Structure 1
Amino acid sequence: MDGKMFLLAATVAGFSLATTPSQAARGSDGEVKILFWQAVSSMNPYLSGGSKEVYAASIVIEPLAGFDEKGTMFPRLAADIPTKANGGVSADNLSITWKLKDGLKWSDGSDVTAEDIAFTWQYCTAPGGGCAQKAKFDGVSKVEAIDRLTAKITFEKPASYPYGPFVGALSPIIQKAQFKDCLGDKAPQCTAANFGPIGTGPYVVKDFKANDVITFAANPNYRDPQKPAFASVTLKGGGDAASAARAVLETGEYDFAWNTVIEPEVMEAMLKAGKGQIASAFSTTVERIHLNPFAVDSALGAKRSTKEAGPHPALSDPAVRRALSLAIDRDILVEAGYGAGGKATCNVIPSPEAFASTGVDWCLKQDLAAANKLLDDAGWKKGSDGIRAKNGVKLSFLYQTSTNSVRQGTQQLVKEWWKEIGVETELRNIPASVYFGSDPASPDTYKKFYADVEMFASGFETTDPAKFLADFRCDKIPSPADGWQGGNVARFCDPAYDALVAELGSAEGQEKRGAIIRRLNDMLVNSGYILPLVVRGEPSAIAKTLVDAKINPWDTQLWNIESWKRGK
């Protein structure tokens, strides 16, 4: 299947992206400065699923294969992409065999071998480890080193899409020698390894200050002797999206700022300085609201926001959930907060186009009258304060998200719309480094979900959403038992959905897979616990002098940092 068909849109504001035909020698272009307003807390994506950690780690540790800006899979550490045609994928879809490029070195000078691949699987699947990317290895029965350069992955059942494990930045290969004593519950304790992994990528960690700044140096053992062009990388974290964009577009202090989602009129003013551009590509990232199905009263202690807490006293009513969605005007959210960088959606899976459903488009049109009628018919009556209640339970919710001006603007609009249907809303915003952090002791992470309502954005990094959809299974709900690392942040649970996910695992052909994916999408949305709002382009601010920083909707925004160089 040609991945090129999946590229939806790419926009660049300001001027054309610069490219040059020649490649500078390794380290000849000095320093490149990157700004993430969401600060990085770890360099180990297996212990944190946050984009900031995955992106930062991707320039040090790499998978067997990745995706280019057009959605085409290409080999990184692998010699080529295994297929049935070349014998790499078995005829029965029960195994895939990967061969490493010969001569690969870790940054410490030691050989990369298939033992490292097999160990990475052992690391993520070790009991008690709380691996954030465990879903990447769903259905894998074993990973074995056949010889020094060959690793075989065997599946429990035929895998129609065998490119989940070790493909994409979420499941890179880690060095066995460095992490061998970090299995299971010991994983979070390996601070030196988690902050400074030995890798195969273009850069190595020189100094790591958690939630602050990371400095990298060019990897002397990188496989391409001409790359990277920059001798060092400084990745600074903190601040907010507007200040990050300004540091590139107006002051020129930085070369690249990721995730610069700010109001359209603010962005236009910054671009007038002429120091940079905004590049954005649409793919699968959806800003969405989750409604907690479980009770969140703090008196519940460790049971809070888990199945053991019992159903939410108000949000367990499907009429309430449907009304909350109908009250939202998604077009206004796009206009006010995203401009050309957003599109209204009702889908959790908005792309590729072949997988996008039209079965839940009921949410695209705001209908306050219908929302009020739903609540009236369900017995939620307005009190003297205008807030609806039923059996002593008020429709009064705590709505949390990360600190970001666009998200706070969205919160305010939603609060006003919900007020029109008799719902009271308390707004809370949490610094992104905390909200998307991996500290199991923090009460403020989005995975703990200690609120009635929360909002964030995520998507999937490949052109096939099977692994992403698998994260909504019942057994993926975060809990104290897994260190709050489960991928099912929404806490959605439906055995029929789980069965359909299993069916997707063996479905072959785009038409058949597309039909199942659309059904799964509709089950998630029609449950009412997940309210998709906006398909977001992932915008980044890029300095005029930074060449070949190509925005990629299917991988990390640092996916080709080894090819970045300084222009005039």
Structure 2
Amino acid sequence: MRDTEIRNLAEQVKSGRLPRRHFIQRMAALGLSAPLAGMLLTHHGVAFAQPSVQYRPKKAGTGGPLKILQWQGPTMLNPHLSGGSKDWHASNVFYEALAGWDMDGNLVPILAAEIPSLENGGVAKNLLSVTWKLKRGVTWHDGTPFTADDCVFTHAYAADPATSAYSMGAYRDIKIEKVDSHTIKLVFSQPTPFWADAFVGSRGMVLPKHLFEKYKGARSREAPNNLKPVGTGPYTFVDFKPGDLLLGKMNPNYHVLNQPHFDSIEMKGGGDAASAARAVMQTGDYDMVWNMQLEDAIISRMEAVGRGKVEVVPGGNIEHIAINFSDPWREVDGERSSVKSVHPILSDKAVRQALNLLLDRDSIQKAIYGRGGDATANFVNAPQRFASKATRWEFNPAKAMALLDEAGWKRGAGGVREKNGKKLSLVFQTASNSLRNKTQVVYKQACEQAGIAMELKSVDSAVFFSSDPGNPDTFTRFSVDLQMFTSSLSQPDPALFMQQFLPDQVSAKSNKWLGRNVTRWVSKDYEAVFDQAAVEPDPAKRAAQLIKLNDMVINDVVVIPVVVRKILAGSHKHLQTRLSSWDTYLWNLAGWYRADKV
């Protein structure tokens, strides 16, 4: 579709002749996600739709307790210092962004008074700046007023390399100006069509300047409020036992009338996906369970009981096997898996190619994930226009063994291959749950039949996704050869997602192992294409460059995609939520309610 056609359709939406939803459906047919279609409309002077969702409660705090099971329990309550979504979700109980994404791709104001647009002057016509007007009358949980100073500070905090913030990529390349006490201006170095990243969604939660100012930079980990949050959100902090239990109570001074519905919140961690799902879907002891990583047949049986309902949240989250390009078995300057080292086995591309061919995605999807995942060869699978059509996956053990033979990996004692005295033996770890552990077993069987010895390691989820720099078993430390987890596509623009393969994002001791590049793969060619895409104004050319980034990662077998995952959430049949794949599942927590308690 040509730009003139898109412009004509946008004008029809603006004049009211074409429903906004029809425009988004037309763009979806072209592979454009709902959020990107919404951004496209704003470029043509059409503001984001503000969804009219009925909130029935007439008084705050009348719903009793809200009980959530998040079996991957949070361990950190500072959203900028964690690389795991479990901590972003939990932080969102207390902290808020200026705006969040709903499932239809609309930006919804939270701490912002309105969403910036061309019409209201918030978005510059040259796309070099965005001005946010902040909501007035908002206070932090300790009574301190929320102002532009908090946004300016959050920008400086996250952008400072010494802070080692996981969110640094959203802030480092922009400048911020305080216009007045409740207005900020973000200035970009080049035209930025997708400007809704900083201060939006999971990476946009604002921190209170008066509590974190002393802990910006190298002292970031020392802040007491990393574990005792003071936010602006619907619930105030009561207690936190990392990995186990998080308690909050209703914020009596919340900035939205009659919200929240519940008088308290409990988030219980630990256990496993099966017991968590049963507690919601069968016994009704809890109201909500996020991320039911169970076989579809088990979920269906629970659903048939009739106490709970399954909410399927589609998106671009990719379950994958990451390959360690550094050596996890020796120290360099006191650091295992140092980017200065080279993996003695996985540096051989033939081994990586063989590992890719030994993954039986079809069986894993059908027998393990069911409706919860689709087999894929790509790392980027959404929005559709960015999904490469040049990649293919195949399960071909014979071809894998031929590659290993040709590369000189010959079978030795016990059938295990070796080369130059080095056995082809690998350690494969993942966060402990039924789906991943069964996937490990399927993969190990195929690998061992091909002559690759494989030791399986299962790490408790609270540990695996922990941001504790002293813990060697976290996924960012990556102290083994292979590991499997999900990378969450929490923004509709994949450029932000693909930052995780940049050289300056390498996870290392120097950044407290919070860099996003956990594979330690370094490619100047990748970096060059990424930089080109960052300044490319033509949407078609930019999409081609982002697809090329995916293909570079796949062709060099930096990762082995397993399935593109859909999140399966279980909730009480009367619980009303607004889940979104573009944000944390608690982005609209203040608006949740129980219909049977109104």
CA deviation map 1:41-97 (0-9, x unaligned): 121111112111100111211111110012222222122222345432334433222
**Is 1:275 matched up with 2:303?**
no
The correspondence for 2:377, drawn from 346, 354, 359, is 346
Residue type at the aligned position of 1:494: S
Q: Secondary structure at the match of 2:408?
A: coil
Shift of 1:550: 2.8
- Give the C-alpha shift of residue 274 in structure 1: 1.6
Which residue pairs with 2:592 in the alignment? 564
Matched, 1:156 2:189: yes
CA distance in 2, matches of 1:299, 1:492: 18
User: Which of 409, 415, 435 is residue 406 of structure 1 equivalent to?
Assistant: 435
Task: Pick from 217, 222, 229 the counterpart of residue 189 of structure 1.
Answer: 222
2:286 maps to 254
* Structure 1 equivalent of residue 64 of structure 2: 30
Secondary structure of 1:34 counterpart? strand
Equivalent runs, 1:256-405 vs 2, <5 Å: 256-298=288-330, 302-308=334-340, 310-361=341-392, 363=393, 365-405=394-434
Equivalent-residue separation in structure 2 for 1:332 and 1:294 (angstroms): 30
Which residue of the other structure, out of 86, 89, 93, is the alignment partner of 2:127?
93
Higher mean Cα deviation, 454-463 or 442-451?
454-463
What secondary structure is seen at the aligned counterpart in 2 of 1:254?
Answer: coil
- Structure with greater helix share of residues: 2
Q: 1:469 to 1:320 in 2, by over 3 A?
A: same
- Amino acid in structure 2 at the alignment position of 1:267: I
Question: Is the partner of 1:174 in helix, strand or coil?
Answer: coil
Structural mapping, 1:6-45, within 5 Å: 6=33, 22-45=56-79
Match of 2:569 in 1: 540
The whole-number CA distance in structure 1 between the counterparts of 2:458 and 2:406 is: 33
Question: Partner of 2:501: helix, strand, or coil?
Answer: coil
Higher relative contact order (CA 8 A, sep 6+): 1
**Aligned-partner SS, 2:328:** coil
Task: Using the TM superposition, name which of 118-127 and 426-435 deviates more.
Answer: 118-127
Residue number in structure 1 paired with 2:88: 54
Name the CA distance, whole Å, in 2 between partners of 1:352 and 1:278: 24
Q: Structure 1 pair 127/553, CA: closer, same or farther in 2 (3 Å)?
A: closer
Q: Distance in 1 between matches of 2:159 and 2:579?
A: 32
C-alpha displacement of 1:409:
0.1
Alignment partner, residue 14 of structure 1: none
Q: Secondary structure at the match of 1:521?
A: helix
Matched, 1:137 2:165: no
- Quote the offset at 1:115 in angstroms: 0.9
Tell me the distance in 1 between the aligned counterparts of 2:539 and 2:449.
43
* Candidates 261, 264, 268, aligned match of 1:229: 261
SS in 2 for 1:280: strand
Aligned counterpart, 1:553:
581
Compute the displacement of 1:106 (Å). Answer: 2.2
Structure 1 counterpart of 2:356, one-letter code? S
2: CA distance between counterparts of 1:160 and 1:231?
41
Counterpart of 2:445? 416
* 5+ long unaligned stretches in structure 2: 1-9, 11-22, 36-52
Instruction: Check the 8 A contact 2:103/2:582 in 1, yes or no.
Output: yes
> By how many angstroms is 1:7 displaced?
5.8
TM-score, normalized by length of structure 2? 0.89
Give the residue type in structure 2 aligned to 1:122: A
> d(CA) in 2 for partners of 1:85 and 1:323?
54
What is the percent sequence identity of the aligned residues?
38
Q: Is the 8 A contact 2:508 2:514 kept in 1?
A: yes
SS in 2 for 1:90: coil
Flag structure 1 segments of 5+ consecutive residues without an equivalent. 9-18
Report the Cα distance in structure 2 between the residues aligned to 1:21 and 1:149, rounded to whole angstroms.
27
Superposition deviation, residue 490 in structure 1: 2.1
Compute the displacement of 1:303 (Å): 3.0
1:432 counterpart (456, 461, 466): 461
Counterpart contact for 1:107–1:220, Cα < 8 Å: no
User: 1:98–1:475: structure 2 CA closer, same or farther, 3 Å change rule?
Assistant: same
Residue 531 (1) aligns with residue 560 (2): yes
* Counterpart selection for 2:231 from 190, 195, 199: 199
Residue 162 (structure 2) aligned to one of 110, 128, 131: 128
Partner of 2:17: none
CA distance in 1, matches of 2:333, 2:367: 39
| Secondary structure class of the residue paired with 2:337 | coil
Aligned-partner SS, 1:540:
strand
Contact 1:66 1:74 in 2 (8 A): yes
Distance across 1 between alignment mates of 2:331 and 2:547: 39
1:432-456 per-position Cα deviation (integer Å, ceiling 9, x unaligned): 0000001111111000000000000
**What is the SS of the residue equivalent to 2:532?**
helix
Alpha-carbon distance in 1 for matches of 2:126, 2:303: 54
Cα separation, 1, equivalents of 2:205 and 2:536:
26
Does residue 508 of structure 2 align to residue 475 of structure 1?
Answer: no
**Larger mean Cα displacement after TM superposition, 68-77 or 531-540:** 68-77
Note if contact 2:94-2:236 (Cα within 8 Å) is conserved in structure 1.
Answer: yes
Alpha-carbon distance between aligned partners in 2 of 1:529 and 1:196, rounded to the nearest angstrom: 38
Shift of 1:509: 4.8
2:55/2:591 contact within 8 Å kept: no
Match of residue 112, structure 1, among 131, 136, 146: 146
User: How far does residue 127 in structure 1 lie from its aligned partner after superposition?
Assistant: 4.2
2:105 is aligned with 1:71: yes
Q: Please, which moves more after superposition, 298-307 or 118-127?
A: 298-307
Count of residues paired in the alignment:
552
Written as runs of structure 1 = structure 2, the 5 A alignment for 1:452-531 is 452-531=481-560
Aligned counterparts of 1:508 and 1:164: Cα–Cα separation in 2? 18
Alignment RMSD (CA, Å): 1.9
